């Protein structure tokens, strides 16, 4: 038997995922209706969730001690009742709380997330500006994290209790125990200050003008506008924050990958695959990896959602104007519209990521798709 030959069907036990040839004739008659029901249900849940987030965020912000007028006006101005009253009137803070909330909801329904007290811009415009910056960090960090953690996690599982396994687990433990801000500063110190191979933060060198916003991601926008120097520079600026985020995410994922792979490696159908002489790489790639990934996808999805929700400390240290910094400033200034805007965005991110995880389950394991 050669490596290109599929395993004999009779040797594959029921526990192994069947080949992804489709759900069969019975299932194909109702896929669109099932899918519609599934999507409809998800949309309803998302709407209810977002509504809940608005109530919760609004109540939490009100519960926090502190008056936005105090945090947004100078100390002298705070002592002038006329100025404080004008501020409260300008931002609608002089109306009863239920009225404030209902006005917010009404605006929200019309696609208006309000105006940020910190930036003076609409919250929607702010999110359009800051979310792409975070996306530009999160996407490469997640791709690299998955590649590295799946590779190393699988290797650690295969080499269980040997030197490679201990080394990988030890490294993951060190990564998990390392505070993110400390790692970020050390990486900056080494690569920027000592070696001089990386920039000191920001999204682009100060000599360059940012590309016109299309996607908001400088690398992509620079490419679209044919600006290779800006592209390379943006890529260069991504290097350190992506490296740190990748290191932190890999530390989380790698243990899950290893444990998922170990579980699959212990299954009878894997032993059977080896027994019939399939090469190790074929068994790992075709049977172990695919079955193990179902468990990994959940954790990876949540890690991705966490990256998308903003990494305040990393963004702060690398002067990266993403959603994390925006949320931090909004919280400091008790900027209610911005806090609620970020809350809604984060809720939406987790909902969408969970939806994608559900879809990925079906792609990775056809049994889930059928059920």
Contact status: 332 vs another protein (CB under 8 A): yes
Contact status: 83 vs another protein (CB under 8 A): yes
Question: CA-to-CA distance for 44 and 168, rounded, in angstroms?
Answer: 43
In the complex, least distance from residue 260 CB atom to another protein, rounded to whole angstroms: 22
Contact status: 62 vs another protein (CB under 8 A): no
Stretch that binds another protein, among 98-106, 207-215, 272-280, 345-353 (CB under 8 A): 207-215
Contact status: 189 vs another protein (CB under 8 A): yes
The nearer residue to another protein, 160 or 290, going by C-beta atoms, is: 290
Among 18, 151, 175, 201, binds another protein (CB under 8 A): 201
The two structure tokens encoding residue 99: 């009225």
Among 145, 251, 325, 351, binds another protein (CB under 8 A): 325
Contact status: 185 vs another protein (CB under 8 A): yes
- For 73, phi then psi, to 5°, come to -115, 155
Among 74, 98, 161, 195, binds another protein (CB under 8 A): 74
Question: CA-to-CA distance for 311 and 28, rounded, in angstroms?
Answer: 43
The two structure tokens encoding residue 86: 């004008």
Element (H, E) at 60: helix 31-63
DSSP for residue 19: P
In the complex, least distance from residue 187 CB atom to another protein, rounded to whole angstroms: 11
Handedness of CA 290, 293, 295, 297 (dihedral sign): negative
Question: CA-to-CA distance for 287 and 255, rounded, in angstroms?
Answer: 20
Burial (CB count within 10 angstroms: exposed 0-12, middle 13-18, buried 19+), residue 274: middle
Total number of residues that touch another protein (CB under 8 A): 65
Q: Give the number of other Cβ atoms within 10 Å of residue 37's Cβ.
A: 11
Radius of gyration of the chain (CA): 25
Among 58, 91, 104, 130, binds another protein (CB under 8 A): 130
Positions touching another protein (CB under 8 A) are 4, 6, 19, 64-67, 70-80, 82-83, 86-87, 89-90, 117-121, 129-130, 185, 188-189, 192-193, 196, 200-203, 206-210, 223, 226-232, 316-321, 325-326, 329, 332, 334
């Amino acid at each position: 038997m050669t490596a290109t030959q599929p395993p004999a069907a009779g040797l594959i036990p029921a526990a192994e995922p069947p080949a992804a040839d489709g759900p069969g004739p019975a299932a194909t008659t109702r896929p669109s209706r099932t899918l519609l029901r599934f999507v409809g249900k998800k949309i309803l849940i998302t709407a209810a969730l977002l509504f809940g987030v608005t109530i919760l965020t609004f109540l939490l912000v009100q519960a926090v001690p502190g008056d936005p007028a105090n945090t947004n006006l100078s100390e002298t101005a705070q002592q002038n009742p006329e100025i404080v009253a004008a501020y409260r009137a300008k931002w609608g803070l002089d109306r009863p709380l239920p009225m404030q909330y209902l006005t917010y909801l009404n605006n929200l329904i019309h696609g208006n997330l309000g105006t940020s007290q910190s930036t003076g811009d609409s919250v929607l415009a702010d999110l359009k500006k800051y979310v792409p910056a975070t996306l530009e960090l999160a996407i490469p960090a997640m791709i690299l994290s998955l590649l590295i953690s799946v590779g190393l996690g699988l290797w650690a599982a295969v080499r269980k209790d040997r030197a490679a396994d201990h080394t990988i687990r030890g490294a993951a433990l060190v990564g998990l125990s390392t505070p993110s801000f400390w790692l970020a500063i050390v990486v900056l110190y080494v690569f920027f200050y000592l070696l001089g191979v990386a920039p000191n933060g920001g999204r682009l060198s100060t000599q360059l003008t940012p590309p016109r916003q299309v996607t908001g991601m400088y690398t992509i926008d620079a490419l679209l506008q044919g600006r290779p120097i800006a592209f390379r520079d943006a890529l260069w600026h991504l290097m350190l924050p992506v490296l740190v985020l990748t290191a932190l995410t890999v530390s989380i994922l790698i243990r899950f990958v290893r444990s998922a792979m170990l579980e699959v490696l212990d299954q009878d159908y894997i032993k059977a695959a080896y027994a019939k002489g399939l090469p190790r790489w074929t068994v790992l790639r075709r049977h172990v990896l695919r079955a193990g990934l179902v468990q990994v996808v959940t954790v990876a999805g949540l890690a991705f959602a966490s990256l998308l929700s903003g990494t305040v400390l990393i963004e702060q240290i690398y002067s990266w104007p993403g959603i994390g910094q925006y949320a931090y400033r909004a919280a400091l200034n008790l900027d209610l519209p911005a806090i609620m805007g970020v809350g809604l965005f984060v809720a939406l991110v987790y909902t969408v990521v969970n939806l994608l995880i559900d879809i990925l389950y079906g792609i990775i394991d056809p049994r889930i798709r059928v059920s």
